[in-house]
Structure 1
Amino acid sequence: MKVSERITKLRALMAEKNINMYIVPTADFHQSEYVGEHFKARKYITGFTGSAGTAVITMESAELWTDGRYFLQAGKQLEGTTVELFKMGEPDVPTIEEYIEKTLSEGETLGFDGRVVSMMEGQAYEKIVQKKNGSIKYDCDLIDDIWEDRPTLSEKPAFALDIKYTGESTASKLKRVRESMKAAGANAHVITSLDDIAWILNIRGDDIEFFPLILSYVIVTMNEVHLFINEKKLSDEIKANLTQNGVTAFHPYNDVYEEAKKFTTSDVLLVDPSRMNYALYNDIPEAVKKIEKENPCVLFKAMKNPTEIKNIKNAHIKDGIASTKFMYWLKQNVGREKITEISASNKLEELRVQQGGFIRPSFDPICAFGEHAAIVHYTSSPETDVELKEGALFLTDTGAGYYEGSTDITRTIAFGEVPQIMKDHFTMTLQSNLRLAHARFLYGCNGMNLDILARAPFWDKNLNFNHGTGHGVGYLMNIHEAPTGFRWQYRPYETHRIEEGMVITDEPGIYIAGSHGVRIENELLTCKGEKNEYGQFMYFEPITYVPIDLDAVNPDIMSIQEKAWLNEYHKTVYDKIAPHLDKEEKEWLKEYTREI
């Protein structure tokens, strides 16, 4: 069926169930950023394949909201579908809540599958509907009723992460969680976010696209831990280890909804409004006291321990070797043999596999040549795959999941001589990256405080990039990890102060539709600096070790300080990567890390 035909079938169901407006978000039952094939309902009903977006369907119209990363992609994919694009954050574009309030008429019904809508979102919809004297139906998965060949839930097995990778046992992590529960005045905690569960249990899986997570829920009390999961995923060894570390009972995955109904007035429940789904929250008896607070694991797992930091740096050495070999291979062969976006992407993954300990890409690879690089989150397909040629830029934003951790790196590479405007845009992006990487700041700052360092080279020229400057990175789980990042707009879930041990990306860019795109991304480790009468100073250590393409740099517009920073970075890259290369690659790296 075409998208328009699917929407027609959905509207027939809506009419049958007296639903006037239906919401289809990009989510699974755990508010995951990336989701397994079973949960791609928004993609099914709109045809838009990006990782973020929400569809709202009425009897007369269909709309899709997505962010700046996907404006170009969504615009193209929605052509001919009858779905209208709403560009989030743009002037005069209403939010989803504002649209619902304006469009839903008095007494009408709003519908959605409450398992894929967060408690916080669901409560916001509730308030709007109450103003309209309407009603909500949250127990209906209408997409499931029309999606005839919908993929089933994953049954792939879980695997354990050894203490040599995690640096802390499950028992120790549970102790910390319970201490936080006690401090909050709670004696029970329902944990629904998959990365937090994976962190606590020291296990990983293959249920989510790219992120090695497992569909599960956990209920922690002061004396018990209940794990809700498809037990087929767990080996006897994993179950025994979990039991030894404090997991007291195993339940079928979906039984958590019935279990939630069993809480009593003697329970004080810690719930995370942005991570618990609306349906699960509504299954908790109203009389049960609830403390709404961020899941303590969010901060615990973002602050990497010494073992994790050592492993992450080793992962970046591996990734640096693979990415440097890749860059060398491209420079030697583009223009001499046929290389396309997809074949280049496959080559990079092949080089990563060779490093050992590789599990899977850490997100959907972005390999974008020429004008494709202006699409921030472009994904090449057989229909769009193009050959790499001289005279243009090639942007690769890719990452790997190793047992030692996850990586996320972007490099933009010039083939042959490129136009001066491309060199100037590349250099401006490099200046932005370097300025943020060399920030010195007092403890207590968050990403909003520092984002201006990266934006200044753009804003000084009345330019901007329509995405965050950086995000937290998880340890072999979510590549976008709360609770902090770099961006100038206020986002309540991303404004925690920057803590020692956090790993955050630094990835400014510029995108010129129809021409080119540039992005340069390194990961930064947050470190403590000097402590004096002014307070605790902090700084960043770049832990991505791949050369910046000097063929695209215009040194004439760089300051002496910026050149010194680049030279210092390139010396680190050479020292760490050169010993792992063959003679020709080493000579090439020496040339591409030369001082300017």
Structure 2
Amino acid sequence: MGLFSGFSLSNSFIGNGFYLFQALRMAPKITTELLRQLRQTMKTSQSITEPIQAYIVPSGDAHQSEYIAPCDCRREYISGFNGSAGTAIVTEQSAAMWTDGRYFLQAAQQMDSNWTLMKMGLKETPTQEDWLISMLPEGARVGVDPFIIQTDQWKSMALALKNAGHLLVPIQENLIDAIWSNRPERPCQLLITLELSYTGLFNLRGSDVEYNPVFFAYAMVGTDTIRRTQCYLSPYTPVCLAKAVKNAREVEGMRRAHVKDAVALCEFFNWLEKEIQKDTVTEIMASDKAEDLRSQQEDFVSLSFATISSSGPDAAIIHYKPVPETNRKLSVGEIFLLDSGAQYKDGTTDVTRTVHFGTPTDYEKECFTYVLKGHIAVSAAVFPNGIKEPGYYEDGAFGIRIENLVLVVPAATKYNFRDRGSLTFEPITLVPIQTKMINVDLLTQKEGLIELLPALGLCTSKIQPDYQPMGSQLTSEMSSLLGAEGETHRVSPTGGTFCIQGWHTDRKDRTGVL
């Protein structure tokens, strides 16, 4: 089955270390007055026929987008928590926030004592439905903006509340908007029409949402006629599948984008290796430099998300974004994690690399290597047709993450059970992984030897032709990632994204040796 789908490998886990608690560096938002205003609106809003006893504030917008415009950041406004995932529920006496493990630390820092953090995935954490039922008075009404709650969430919530004697009701006026003074205006930027050399549903791009080439709109895609005049939207649309399956031109564009991105990041890490010795580089400076180098690449449009530039303990906050109040200096004695990406006309990138420009401890190398092993295992997986980036985070210590973008491609297997076919991953991220962080003794033979592809050789052969015209040698730019020159060690496999432990600079073919 010739399906190509691009996405990011993601299966993070959280490490619990015995470290002294780090003082909170993010000042929480004081929400006492906002909650008072919201609770008053729950009783008196003209858009409700009778008072409601609880109000649900989801994360998304009317398009169920992960990334939203400032005017739609309602959950952040009422709570102070600005992570990309979470649901707030406010009752007459309590306020609670549900979010996943990526944001436990961040949410705890950004919310004040008015809020209870509900850590999703933990056995002791109640579901939203169970918590509401335990908190509500008899025969309560629970309100939510019907435009920003997912259909399946509405159905499950409505059923659970009904069975407990309560009622979920749609509130046409968003109650957060009703109390939001100086709410940002909805963006309405100019549309950009792309040439036919690019491919897309409409070949239109916008900038209504930061870091995303989209604009506010709804589309109806039909054949020749509307099958039933009373049907405005079908329950399921084939357009989503068509957009998920990448055609040859889209795949070509994705590959080009990742070559450009790898060039920019190799330059960045080379710059950082030198500048960090001066003890002047901050998280924000590093973030700005990475953006500057990307912007010099052909067809650069913007970043694809806010750069996560995190040093030392900040790297344990999974979606940390440096601000002046939290901006740390980078140090040769600490881990540095950069999670970043860009929008190019021909593709979008998202890559994470974790590096150390001093001497990593044995424990840091052990943690890094286990993350790498997880990444290799996922990258090399072969799975039946039709059926998460590894990470490790210790509060107050450090965080480690490795992230590549991949294509889902058909896999050649010995057997073909029921003619279903099998799929595997083809990494398209070409940014090297720093090998000084690897404890090779922890790698198995399959993880440590070239068995799938000539890992580094494939990586550099794709980058080198585009890199040389920029006036620098690839080896000098990659020196900070590839370890000491002249050494030969084991290498790791999977699609040109894992690098030699040591590097032969005199080898013209740039392939690894044992």
Note whether the superposition's TM-score is higher than 0.5: yes
- Secondary structure at the aligned position of 1:213 is classed as coil
Aligned residue runs from structure 1 range 567-578, under 5 A: 568-578=454-464
In structure 1, what residue type is equivalent to 2:44?
A: E
- Assess, with a 3 A threshold, how the Cα gap between structure 1 residues 68 and 223 changes in structure 2: closer, same or farther: same
Give the share of equivalent positions with the same residue, in percent: 36
Q: Which has the higher contact order (CA 8 A, sep 6+)?
A: 2
Instruction: Provide the residue aligned with 2:198 in structure 1.
Output: 165
State how far apart, in whole Å, the 1-side matches of 2:351 and 2:228 are: 49
CA RMSD between the two structures: 2.2
1:542 pairs with one of 427, 430, 441: 427
CA deviation string 1:462-517 (max 9, x = no partner): xxxxxxx2xxxxxxxxxxxxxxxxxxxxxxxxxxxxxxxxxxxxx21111111111
Which TM-score applies when normalising by structure 2?
0.81
State how far apart, in whole Å, the 1-side matches of 2:391 and 2:306 are: 18
Q: 1:94: Cα distance to partner? A: 1.2
1:514 pairs with one of 393, 396, 403: 396
Instruction: Provide the residue aligned with 1:20 in structure 2.
Output: 53
2:94 matches 1:66: no
CA deviation string 1:82-130 (max 9, x = no partner): 1111111111111212222332332222112221112222233332343
State how far apart, in whole Å, the 2-side matches of 1:95 and 1:125 are: 10
- Assess, with a 3 A threshold, how the Cα gap between structure 1 residues 221 and 403 changes in structure 2: closer, same or farther: closer
CA deviation string 1:315-345 (max 9, x = no partner): 0000000111111111122122511111101
CA deviation string 1:281-330 (max 9, x = no partner): xxxxxxxxxxx33x322221111000000110000000000111111111
State how far apart, in whole Å, the 2-side matches of 1:137 and 1:583 are: 60
2:267 matches 1:267: no
State how far apart, in whole Å, the 2-side matches of 1:336 and 1:126 are: 59
Contact 2:54–2:142 under 8 Å retained in 1? yes
2:72 matches 1:39: yes
Instruction: Provide the residue aligned with 1:306 in structure 2.
Output: 248
Contact 2:270–2:477 under 8 Å retained in 1? yes
- Assess, with a 3 A threshold, how the Cα gap between structure 1 residues 331 and 23 changes in structure 2: closer, same or farther: same
Contact 2:158–2:167 under 8 Å retained in 1? no
Which TM-score applies when normalising by structure 1?
0.71
2:49 matches 1:86: no
Instruction: Provide the residue aligned with 1:354 in structure 2.
Output: 296
Aligned residue runs from structure 1 range 570-589, under 5 A: 570-579=456-465, 580-581=467-468, 582-583=471-472, 585-589=474-478
Aligned length: 444
In structure 2, what residue type is equivalent to 1:10?
A: L
Contact 2:79–2:111 under 8 Å retained in 1? yes
Q: 1:387: Cα distance to partner? A: 0.5
- Secondary structure at the aligned position of 1:218 is classed as coil
Instruction: Provide the residue aligned with 1:257 in structure 2.
Output: none
- Assess, with a 3 A threshold, how the Cα gap between structure 1 residues 547 and 265 changes in structure 2: closer, same or farther: closer
Instruction: Provide the residue aligned with 1:149 in structure 2.
Output: 182
Aligned residue runs from structure 1 range 550-565, under 5 A: 550-565=435-450
More strand by share: 1
2:156 matches 1:124: yes
State how far apart, in whole Å, the 1-side matches of 2:473 and 2:104 are: 42
Q: 1:164: Cα distance to partner? A: 1.4
- Secondary structure at the aligned position of 1:322 is classed as helix
Contact 1:412–1:519 under 8 Å retained in 2? yes
Which structure 1 segments of 5+ residues have no match?
Answer: 167-198, 226-263, 272-291, 447-468, 470-506
With 573-582 and 538-547 compared, the bigger mean Cα shift is at: 573-582
- Assess, with a 3 A threshold, how the Cα gap between structure 1 residues 219 and 529 changes in structure 2: closer, same or farther: closer
- Secondary structure at the aligned position of 1:435 is classed as helix
Contact 1:375–1:511 under 8 Å retained in 2? yes
Aligned residue runs from structure 1 range 119-518, under 5 A: 119-131=151-163, 132-134=165-167, 136-166=169-199, 199-223=200-224, 267-268=230-231, 270-271=233-234, 292-293=235-236, 295-444=237-386, 446=387, 469=388, 507-518=389-400
Q: 1:203: Cα distance to partner? A: 1.3
More helix by share: 1
Instruction: Provide the residue aligned with 1:275 in structure 2.
Output: none
State how far apart, in whole Å, the 2-side matches of 1:89 and 1:441 are: 26
Contact 2:280–2:329 under 8 Å retained in 1? yes
